[in-house]
Amino acid sequence: MKKEMPIYDVLIVGAGLSGLAAAQRIDQSGLNYCVLEAASRAGGKVDSGTNAEGKYWLELGAQFVNTDMTEMVRFIEASGMSLVKTHAQPNSVFLHAKTMEPVGDLIEAVDEDLLGDLESSDLSLSEVIEELTDTTEEAAVAKSFITEEATVDTDYMSAESYIDVSERYTSEQDDLTHQASGQLSQVIAYLVDNLKVPVHFSQPVRQVEKQGDHYEVTTESGDRYRAKGLLLAVPPTVASRLSLPEDLHAHFAPLLSSFVDGSVIKVTLSYDQSFWTAVELEEEKLPVEGIVFSRFQGLSISDSSKEGDTPRLTAFIGGDLAKDLAGQPASARQQFVLDRLHEVLGKEAAEYVDYRESIWVDHPFCGGGYSAQVHVDGIADAPEQLRQPFEKCVFASTELAEAFPGFMEGAARAGTFAAEQLIEQLA
C-alpha cells in the first residue's frame, strides 16, 4: 500500500543560521517540523575551511562578532567556544590606500549625515554620497567603503533603504571586535545536532503549491513534503526564484524582487609576523584596522588576526569589482590582490605563508554577498513587510532582521522572530 505523505506543522526551507534558529524555536514550541536544505551541509554563508595545506582553519564566510550580538555570543558559548578579541582597538585606524591618511572621520561624517533628514526618497546611495561630500575623492572613498560593507555598488542601492539598514545596526561597537575561539562550523553543528529531527540535506526546494489547507513543496529531485505552515529561511533574491502559489506570489513577488544580490570575494593571507600592525601618525603609533581603496571601488584590506592565532590579513572585495574578478582566472585574481597589498604595505606583503580565497559571487542558494540590498527601484520598506506572515507563510533571513541585518546575529534573530510569528498563526 502507498505510504501516506505526512503533514508537518511547519516546513522550514534553508538551514543557514536563520533556518536553524527558526528550527530551534519551533522545536521548543512542540510543533512538528521538517527542515529542507539545498546544500549537502548546513550553515549557508557560515562556512569554516582550512588553509591550502589543511594545517589550520579559517572562515571562508562569516567570521566576526561583537558583544552586543547576544544571540551569536550565546550560540558560540553553548557550542563550547569562547569569544576572543581581534587586534582591532578602540583607537585603530582605517587608512586611505592612496594617501595612507585616516579616513574614519570622513566615513563617520557621511554616515551621520546620511542618517539625518533625507529630502528625496528615490535617490541612489551614490547620488546622496556625492551631495554630502566635498570632493570627488572623498566621495570615492566613502562609496568604496560602503560598497565593501554592503557588497553592492552604491549606484544600485536605494539610499533610503541603506539608511534603514544602518539604523537597524543597534550597537555602538564596531562589528569586528571579536571572533569565536574555534571554527564557526561548531556553532552550526551544535544547532543541527540539538534539533529533535535531522535536517534533510541536498533538497533544493523548487516549487510551492497549495493543496486545500496545507502547502506542498517539491524539491529538485521530485520529492514532496506537506505542511500547514511554511517558513522560508532563504535570502529574498533566492526566494524570488521559487515558484509560489498564485496568491503568495501576488503578495510577495514585488517585495522579493525589490532586492539585488550582493557580490563578495574574501581572500585571507597568513603571515609569520604582523608587520602591518602599527602606523606612525603624528608621532603616535596607531594600530591599523584596515585600508580602503578609492581607485578600486569595494576593496578593503583588514587585519583579521585574533589574539593568540596566526597573523592574518583579509582582502574583502565587494560589488562589481568582485563580479569582475570572479570572472577572471584565479592567477589574475591573486596577482590583483598581491599588487594591491604591495602598493600599500610594501614588499613584506609578498612574504605570506598562505593564501586562500572564497568566492560567493552568484551563489545560487546563498546570494553572492554578505546579504542582499534593496535596489534603487525597490520598495524601501520591503524588509519590514517581508517580516509579516501572509496566510501561513513567513520569510526569515538576515536581510529582514529588526537588529543587525546583514550579519549572523541578524540571521539568528530573524529566524527566531519568524518562527514566533508562525507559531502564533498556527495556534
Contact residues toward ligand FAD (CB under 6 A) are 13-19, 36-39, 44-46, 61-65, 204-205, 233-235, 238, 264, 266, 360, 365-366, 370-371, 397-398, 406-411
Q: Which is nearer to ligand FAD, 14 or 389 (CB)?
A: 14
Residue 113 Cα distances to 86, 118, 387, angstroms: 29, 9, 28
d(CA 276, CA 348): 9
Three cell numbers, residue 101: 591618511
Q: Which is nearer to ligand FAD, 45 or 228 (CB)?
A: 45
Q: CB of residue 204 vs ligand FAD: minimum separation in angstroms?
A: 4
Q: CB of residue 365 vs ligand FAD: minimum separation in angstroms?
A: 3
Q: Which is nearer to ligand FAD, 150 or 291 (CB)?
A: 150
Q: Which is nearer to ligand FAD, 139 or 150 (CB)?
A: 150
H or E segment and range at residue 268:
strand 264-270
Q: CB of residue 39 vs ligand FAD: minimum separation in angstroms?
A: 4
Q: Which is nearer to ligand FAD, 37 or 153 (CB)?
A: 37
**DSSP sequence for 18-49:** HHHHHHHHHHHHT--EEEE-SSSSSBTT--EE
Q: CB of residue 131 vs ligand FAD: minimum separation in angstroms?
A: 29
Q: Which is nearer to ligand FAD, 146 or 366 (CB)?
A: 366
Place of cell 543597534: 170
Q: CB of residue 358 vs ligand FAD: minimum separation in angstroms?
A: 6
What torsion, rounded to 10 degrees, do the Cα atoms 35, 38, 40, 43 define? -70
Q: CB of residue 46 vs ligand FAD: minimum separation in angstroms?
A: 5
Tell me the β-bridge partners of 302. 290, 314
Residue type, 356: R
Mark out the alpha helices in 196-326 (DSSP H runs): 236-239, 246-256, 320-326
Q: CB of residue 410 vs ligand FAD: minimum separation in angstroms?
A: 6
- Letter string b/e over residues 143-171, b meaning 16 or more CB atoms within 10 A of that residue's CB: bbbbbbbbbbbbbbbbbbbbbbbbebbee
Place of cell 510569528: 421
Q: Which is nearer to ligand FAD, 124 or 417 (CB)?
A: 417
H or E segment and range at residue 290:
strand 284-292
